[in-house]
Each structure stands twice: as structure tokens, then as C-alpha cells.
Amino acid sequence: GNSVTQMEGPVTLSEEAFLTINCTYTATGYPSLFWYVQYPGEGLQLLLKATKADDKGSNKGFEATYRKETTSFHLEKGSVQVSDSAVYFCALSDRNTGFQKLVFGTGTRLLVSP
């Protein structure tokens, strides 16, 4: 079945450091890939997405590239801020199901200190 694997957290960084959160997936068909962010006490917000191989999703300085050859969708940001502290979820949606059912990774907590 479909699955998403994320790096274990927490990831602890100083402000302005470079961020990478790894995500790899297993899927049949041609999935769409997503990163969601959850700030403390809130629901999930869509951060970025990519729908086909080599697509790059970007938003708020975050980027992720859909790599079919390595089945990866790593999240990156060049300079993190304290306000980026949150839990980040990688997810996939397999369009072959005919219905959008998201499969989530376990989430990676990011802590950014001043």
C-alpha cells in the first residue's frame, strides 16, 4: 500500500539556519505530494504541493521538488525564522483511487531558537 516516511524529530535549529526535512514515499500509480504545517494548537495548513515528477512546490520561502527517481519530496528553506516552529507533515494522494485520500507521514517537529 501507499506510505510516507519522514525523518524523526524534533529538528532543532538556530534562526537563519538552513532547513531540510526528508520525506520519501511508496505509492502505486502517480501520486500528488504535499507538505502541510501545523502550528501549536491549530489544524493543518497546506504549505505547498507538487502534482507530477520534477515539479517544484514553493511557498513562504519553503521549497520541495518531486523526485520520482528517488521517490522523495524533501522540504527545504534557506533561512528559518522562530515563527517557522511547527510540525510539518508530508503526505501523498494517489489519483488512481479516483478519490483523494491522503496518506500522511508521522510529522516532524521543527524548533527554531532566536
Partner 1 sequence: SQTIHQWPATLVQPVGSPLSLECTVEGTSNPNLYWYRQAAGRGLQLLFYSVGIGQISSEVPQNLSASRPQDRQFILSSKKLLLSDSGFYLCAWSRENQPQHFGDGTRLSIL
Strand partners, 34: 49, 91
Whichever of 17 and 107 has its CB closer to partner 1, that residue is: 107
For the bound state, the minimum distance from the C-beta of residue 89 to partner 1, rounded and expressed in Å, comes to 7
Q: Under the rule (CB under 8 A), what is the footprint of partner 1?
A: 32, 34, 36, 41-46, 49, 89, 93, 95, 99-102, 104-107
Whichever of 14 and 101 has its CB closer to partner 1, that residue is: 101
d(CA 28, CA 23): 17
